[in-house]
Amino acid sequence: MDSSIKKLLIVDDSKVSRMLIRTHMLAQHPEWIISEAACGEDAIALADNDLPDYCPTDINMPGIPGADAAEQILSKHPSIKMVIFSANIQETHQVRARSLGTILVAKPVTEKSIALTLDYFAASK
Average pLDDT in the 15-44 region? 96
User: Does the pLDDT value for residue 1 go beyond 80?
Assistant: no
Q: Which of 7, 23, 17 lies closest to 38, judged by CA?
A: 17
The architecture (CATH level 2) of 7-123 comes to 3-Layer(aba) Sandwich (3.40)
Q: What is the pLDDT of residues 15-27, one digit of tens each?
A: 999 999 999 999 9
* Amino acid 89: pLDDT: 80
Q: Concatenated DSSP letters for 16-48? A: HHHHHHHHHHHHH-TT-EEEEESSHHHHHHHHH
Confidence of residue 115 (pLDDT cuts 50, 70, 90): very high
Is residue 90 very low, low, confident or very high in pLDDT (cuts 50, 70, 90)?
Answer: confident
2-6, 24-28, 79-83, 105-109: least confidently modelled range: 2-6
Burial of 1 (0-12, 13-18, 19+ CB in 10 A): exposed
Q: Is the model's pLDDT at 4 over the cut of 90?
A: no
Q: How far is the C-alpha of 7 from the C-alpha of 100, rounded, in Å? A: 20
Please state whether beta strands 33-37 and 103-106 pair in parallel, antiparallel, or not at all (unpaired): unpaired
